[in-house]
């Protein structure tokens, strides 16, 4: 890996993290409640919700206070493109096999 690239931090839903810069309420502790290009976090001091870019979140992270549920994070993770096509294909096949009597 080149020297200018850093390892990607794996965030999970339900992670409780400590960030370098304090929220105006004075708390440094945040709960991760949304994953994606932006990370949704909720202040544990006052309950305010903000979105932080993933790269900024990785820079500001000082520690994981508590780790979230890995199974929950994987359950809501987006599917790979070929897996989506397979799921869509099986749903289309299932609906084509239905008869009007199935709707009753």
Q: What kind and span of H or E run contains 89? A: helix 81-96
Q: Is residue 31 part of a domain?
A: yes
Q: What is the pLDDT of residue 1?
A: 41
In a domain, 102, yes or no: no
Read off the pTM.
0.67
Residue 11 lies in a domain: no
Q: For 68-95, what is the mean pLDDT?
A: 68
38 in a structural domain: yes
Q: How sure is the predictor about 81, in pLDDT bands with cuts at 50, 70 and 90?
A: low
pLDDT at 66: 94
Specify the number of domains making up the chain: 1
CA distances from 67 to 13, 14, 20 (A): 9, 7, 18
pLDDT single digits (tens) 21-77: 889 999 999 999 999 889 999 999 999 999 999 999 999 999 999 998 888 878 877
Asked if residue 88 belongs to a domain, the reply is yes
Evaluate whether residue 6 is within a structural domain.
no
Checking if the pLDDT of 101 tops 90, the result is no
Structural domain boundaries enclosing 24: 16-97
Given this model, what pLDDT does residue 21 score?
86
């Amino acid at each position: 890996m080149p020297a200018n690239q850093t390892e990607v931090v794996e965030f999970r839903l339900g992670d409780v993290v400590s960030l370098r810069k304090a929220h105006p309420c004075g708390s440094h502790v945040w709960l991760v409640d949304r994953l994606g290009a932006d990370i949704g976090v909720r202040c544990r001091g006052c309950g305010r919700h903000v979105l932080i870019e993933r790269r900024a979140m990785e820079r500001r992270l000082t520690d994981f206070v508590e780790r979230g549920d890995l199974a929950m994070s994987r359950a809501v993770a987006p599917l790979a493109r070929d897996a989506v096509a397979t799921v869509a294909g099986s749903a289309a096949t299932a609906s084509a096999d239905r008869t009007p009597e199935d709707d009753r």
